[in-house]
Structure 1
Amino acid sequence: MSRLTSKNRKYFRFPGRNIILFISVNLLIFLGISCGTTGDIRDTIIYDKSSYYYIDFKEYPSDRSRLPIGIFDSGTGGLAVLNDLLGYELPGGGSELAVSDSIANGGLRDESFIFLADLANMPYGSYALENNSDLLIEHVIKDVQFLLGNKYYQSGMTADFSTDKSQVKAIVIACNTATAYGLDTVRRFLQQAGLDIGVIGVIDAGAQGALGAFSQDENGSIAVLATDGTVKSGAYPLTISTVKTKLGLRGNVQIFQQAGIGIAEAVDENIDFIDRSAFVPRSGYKGPADTGSGELKIDLSILDRYSFDMDNGAMLFEGEKLVPANMQINSVENYITFHLVSLMETMRNTEGVEPLKSVVLACTHYPFFEETFRETLMRLRNYQEEGEYLYRSLISEDLIIVNPALIVADQLHHMLDGNNLLNKTGKAKSEFYISVPNLVNRQIVLREDGSFTYEYKYGRKPGDIQEYVKYVPFSRSSISADILNRLSVQIPPVFDLIVRFNQDNDKTKYLDENQKISNQ
């Protein structure tokens, strides 16, 4: 931007005051967009009528049964939760999940959904690692604001927003980390706004599922596999203890937590943790390595126990397969293997350890790879060194793997039914949105691939109210081909809804045909 100096000021002499005033006003508007304001995002949403985030809650729809259900996650993992909501059946139901105009599955078949993936700000689990949990909570409130509001953008470069998005009748926080840090804050915010909207998290459901493996006096262990943020919050041990008391269980239930750093990130193709184009160790990698320390160290002395896939770029390393050096994990499966072996080693070195009865997949990205978790645990149960089963005594033969979403679906149906909010008039269309960097905001710092740099993402200050991101519809422009291919294979009913959103919904008519997601 050129400066108005004495040399060029003569060109603005008439009508000088008006032009200077015009420039000043527009500069202030630009600075407002770029720099934002300071304060509490909750107050901004409720009271600041000049803000993008403002919602007039007095005008919120009162007849809500036909409104959609809002779901959000830090990435695409929450789509696995949506898949289980679509597949929910009332007790005694026997229908299978069908991909059709009306998904015949039982209790939630007539509901529509608005899904938000805050991919630009993910992984949420790393905010605690970087001592910035307050910023995470601010992101969570902004996610809720999006679901409650009617605004969205067409792209990260669009200056004007659209206002025809439906508001929601209930919210599912399909993220364990967001539940751990933000659920109570969200409920207090809704109370402050005077809005009677039910909110369901996933941690209580995970705790209930984990304890379902125990009889009243039975001893055993529970493993919680979660993001680093969820582990650091302590929410799962506290909730499991509370639910155990409510259920009247009297046995010795031990809890082990394993921070699965890199798993969710690899599922969503985060470049800090996975790069499918790489075949040699690379700079900028932030996952486990043999040169790492603490929970991020690959222990070369137990390399056989990991049994990593060393081929086709799944593990980046120097040297030979049998004696690798500078190892970097580069596949979801190898991340899972690393963390399950780390968990087993922790248990093996714990005095008086009880056998593992249940494993909670306490990140909504993990159920995409539930079979990989199961198969790896069974491999470790049968793993031998010098004729001795190293981990067999630590893993119960009747081990269960808990996907909290199945219980969340039951809780959601119960809440809607109890408040006369079930949609009984026919199925509306579901919609899918994702966050992308706000390219109108000149303060953001991006990598060459267009994503936030790690330092910028986790170094932002809470209370600096800015539009860091824009929420835009799913499209081939906003989601990578690798993620779309995975979704089409792993959760075809949800993928079918995404395709219909791109092909049939008026909100995506602006997309070019090559940007629209299709079955081809």
Structure 2
Amino acid sequence: MPLLKKAIGLGCALLLLHCSNAWRRGEVAVLHDIRDVMLKEKNSFFYIDTAAYPRHDCTLPIGVFDSGTGGLTVLDAIVRLDAFDNDDHRMDEDGDGRRDFQSERFIYFGDQANMPYGEYASENNLPLLIEHIFKDLQFLLGNRYYATAQSRSPSTDKSPVKAVVIACNTATAYGKEAIERFLEAANLPIKVIGVIDAGVTGALDYYAPSADGTIAVMATPGTVSSNGYPQALRARMAALGYRGRIQLFQQPGFGLAGAIDGAAEYISPQAVSPRSGYQGPSFSHPQAAIDSVLLHRYGFDWSGHHMLYDGELSRPRALQINSIDNYIAYNLLSLLEQLRKAKVRQPLKVIILGCTHYPFYLNVFKARLAYFYNYQEKGDYLYRPYMAETIHLVDPAVRTAWELYDYLRAEQLFNAGDQPAGEFYFSVANRDNPEVECDETGNFTWNYKYGRRAGTIQEYVKNVPFSQSSLSIEILDRLKKTIPATYELIDRFSKENLKMSGIPAADR
């Protein structure tokens, strides 16, 4: 993976300014890499005592991280999996009526303060992205968290983990191999599971080894620019002996993951007109332009301020997308325009949902695909020649869950508890750090989020237990409806776990 190695190598080669907690203590900064800090700087907040780390302890929880809430779709696939016999651990297509991870504990972390990760590549700041990924890893391995955003000192009773699931395609693309090397150097026998290989394997299931076909990947701009999926597809086809010609198209979903997580740069339920600070597709976006010539094809919903614009509807100006459905419409049409212009011979049969946020809106993707399949101009079906009648939407989460199960079985790491349990944490801006730059909502400004330099190793964020204030009401309602099994774990954590004792009951 030349591009990934180049990007990761850039992050490794930088001489990084280490000021761990220097803003508190007035220390003189020294040069360090975040990985060195984790392994060597015993006085740092980010230090991990690897010699004392528990090894081969089946009672430890499984760690899962993402840049926001999208990884909860992966955790939900893990929690709900019933593809094995729980007595002998052999695969059973019909399941045995018992969830395969029914006795496991989980720790979920969403780096909400720094999301979405998919934009760091387009902002030319991959070293900062890689630093975030390693801080996510450090949180899962370590024992520190803040009881609330207002806490001045961290609590130290969080458990380490026995396996790590990177429930983020962008973090998998840029961080998985680097994390594996780090853990090997630290002599920590911890399995790291990503989502990209799972997505590719799931897509190839729909093709015979000799078949030709067309596959698409819809992912964040960062995942697309990493070329992680094309490289993984070629490797997997070679390993499995596939001889057919598979064309792969990628569509970068500018703003979609951020909109799903309610990031103000992409979506605002209160907005009634175009607003400053918007970063999503527009007429003038240099990488995600809304094509005015194709405006009638997108099928946008113009009601309820779901599209923001100046002027008349017939000739809108300063156009901005302001609903998740419209983001999906924009990105699907952009993908289909790629196929139409390429005049693909094999119709699109499989779309890999290469961002863990996207499966929340599986039904919207299906409805929009049906709309475009039946779309006509002057009596001709414009996109039908390039689309299979049934397009399979591949969510990598299920195969990711299978890989995790295989690992626990091989290493005899299944827990013997009686029911699953979870702890859920999100990052928030650390307002006690005077260097942090926040907007009026308390979130990082765009320039600070994506523009600050990697290497100033300090606590930009506080990782706190999930509470009602962590997410909007709309997102909470979506989680309750789309991933009820995981929402039940979140609810139980909020109401019963002692780590929530510092949060008022009404805010849990």
Structure-2-length-normalised TM-score: 0.92
State the distance in 2 between where 1:179 and 1:85 align.
17
Match of 2:331 in 1: 339
2:503 aligns to what? Answer: 511
What does residue range 83-162 of structure 1 map to in structure 2 within 5 Å? 83-89=76-82, 90=84, 91-92=91-92, 94=94, 105-162=98-155
**CA–CA separation in structure 2 for the residues paired with 1:302 and 1:175:** 32
Task: Determine if the alignment matches structure 1 residue 424 to structure 2 residue 416.
Answer: yes
The alpha carbon displacement at 1:94 in A equals 4.6
Q: Does 1:246 align with 2:239?
A: yes
Structure-2 separation of matches of 1:494 and 1:105: 16
Q: Deviations over 1:157-182 (max 9, x none)?
A: 32211111111000000000000000
Counterpart residue identity of residue 301, structure 2: D
Check whether the contact 1:156–1:440 (CA below 8 A) recurs between aligned residues.
Answer: no
Question: Could you tell me which residue of structure 1 aligns to residue 4 of structure 2?
Answer: none
From 162, 170, 190, the equivalent of 1:197 is: 190
Distance 2:451 2:234 in 1: 34
Moved more, 358-367 or 463-472: 463-472
Matched, 1:184 2:177: yes
Q: Which amino acid aligns with 2:477?
A: N
- Please tell me the residue identity of whatever aligns with 2:376: Q
Structure 2 counterpart of 1:55: 48
Consecutive unaligned residues in structure 2, runs of 5 or more: 1-20, 85-90
Q: Does 1:458 align with 2:450?
A: yes
CA distance in 2 between counterparts of 1:174 and 1:236 reads 15
Match of 2:400 among 390, 408, 411: 408
1:474 to 2:473 alignment: no
Pair 390,171 (structure 1): closer, same or farther in 2 beyond 3 Å? same
C-alpha deviation, 1:63, in angstroms: 4.6
Q: Are the aligned partners of 2:343 and 2:386 in contact in 1 as well (CA < 8 Å)?
A: no
1:203-231: CA deviation from partner (whole Å, max 9, x where unpaired): 00011111111112211111000000000
Matched-pair contact (CA < 8 Å) for 2:102–2:420: no
Deviation at 1:509, TM superposition (A): 1.1
C-alpha displacement of 1:36: 6.4
Give the equivalent residue in structure 2 for 1:306. Answer: 298
Query: Does the 8 A contact of 1:219 with 1:354 survive in 2?
Result: yes
- Give the equivalent residue in structure 2 for 1:348: 340
Offset at 1:463? 1.6
8 Å contact kept, 2:375–2:382: yes
Match of 1:304, SS? coil
Give the match for residue 101 of structure 1: none
Provide the C-alpha distance between the structure 1 equivalents of 2:23 and 2:359, rounded to a whole number of angstroms.
44
Counterpart secondary structure, 1:470: strand
Q: Equivalents in 1 of 2:142, 2:284: separation in Å?
A: 47
- Aligned amino acid, residue 176 of structure 1: N
Contact 2:148-2:502 at 8 Å conserved across structures: no
Contact 1:39 1:463 in 2 (8 A): yes
Q: Which amino acid aligns with 2:356?
A: T
- Structure 2 CA distance, aligned partners of 1:360 and 1:194? 35
Q: Is the 8 A contact 2:146 2:154 kept in 1?
A: yes
Deviation at 1:475, TM superposition (A): 0.3
Indicate how the Cα distance of structure 1 residues 155 and 36 shifts in structure 2: closer, same or farther if over 3 A, else same. Answer: farther
1:34/1:443 contact within 8 Å kept: no
- Cα distance in 1 for residues equivalent to 2:30 and 2:507: 35
Aligned counterparts of 1:122 and 1:132: Cα–Cα separation in 2: 13
Contact 1:75/1:268 (8 A) holds in 2: yes
CA contact (8 A) 2:101 2:420 kept: no
Partner Cα separation in structure 1 for residue 450 and residue 78 of structure 2: 32
The alignment status of 1:377 with 2:369, answered yes or no, reads: yes
1:281 to 274, 291, 298: 274
Q: Distance in 2 between matches of 1:72 and 1:220?
A: 33
Amino acid paired to 1:347? L
After TM superposition, the structure 1 = structure 2 runs for residues 354-373 of structure 1, keeping only pairs within 5 Å, are 354-373=346-365
Distance 1:286 1:324 in 2: 18
Superposition deviation, residue 92 in structure 1: 2.9
Point out 4+ residue stretches in structure 1 off by more than 6 angstroms: 33-36
Choose from 364, 382, 401 the match for 1:390: 382
Q: Distance in 2 between matches of 1:292 and 1:185?
A: 33
Q: Alpha carbon RMSD of aligned pairs, Å?
A: 1.7
Deviating more after overlay: 223-232 vs 457-466: 457-466
Aligned: 1:436 with 2:428: yes
- State the partner residue of 2:69: 76
- 1:46-105 CA distances to partner (integer Å, 9 max, x unpaired)? 111100111111111235111110000000000011111111112436579xxxxxxx64
Q: Determine if contact 1:37/1:464 at 8 Å carries over to the other structure.
A: no
Q: Using a 3 Å threshold, how does the CA distance of structure 1 residues 95 and 319 change in structure 2: closer, same or farther?
A: farther
Moved more, 177-186 or 62-71: 62-71
Distance in 1 (CA, whole Å) between partners of 2:119 and 2:337 is: 24
SS in 1 for 2:469: coil
3-state SS, counterpart of residue 351 of structure 2: strand
2:5 aligned residue: none
Secondary structure of 1:223's aligned partner: strand
TM-score normalized with structure 1 length: 0.89
String of CA shifts for 1:455-497, please: whole Å, max 9, x gaps.
0111111121111111100001222222212111211111111
Matched residues in 2 for 1:437 and 1:428: separation?
A: 30
| Number of corresponding residues | 481
Q: 1:34 to 1:369 in 2, by over 3 A?
A: farther
Determine if contact 2:22/2:29 at 8 Å carries over to the other structure: no
Name which of structure 1's ranges 243-252 and 443-452 shifts more when overlaid on structure 2: 243-252
Query: Per the alignment, do residues 396 and 141 of structure 1 end up closer, same or farther by CA in structure 2, a change over 3 Å counting?
Result: same
Aligned to 1:42: 35
CA displacement at 1:323 relative to structure 2: 3.2
State the alpha-carbon separation in 2 of the partners of residues 392 and 438 from structure 1.
50
Task: Please say if residues 87 and 105 of structure 1, whose CA atoms lie closer than 8 Å, have aligned partners that are also in contact.
Answer: no
Q: How many Å separate the matches in 1 of 2:374 and 2:288?
A: 25
SS state at 1:305 partner: coil
| Equivalent-residue separation in structure 2 for 1:221 and 1:37 (angstroms) | 51
Q: Which stretches in structure 1 are left out of the alignment for 5+ residues?
A: 1-27, 97-103
Partners of 1:105 and 1:272 lie apart in 2 by: 42
> 1:296, CA displacement in angstroms?
1.4
Task: Give the equivalent residue in structure 1 for 2:3.
Answer: none
Query: In structure 2, what is the Cα distance between the partners aligned to 1:207 and 1:159?
Result: 44
Secondary structure of 1:465's partner? coil
Q: Is this contact kept in 2: 1:38–1:465, CA < 8 A? A: no
Change (3 A) 1:465 1:421: same
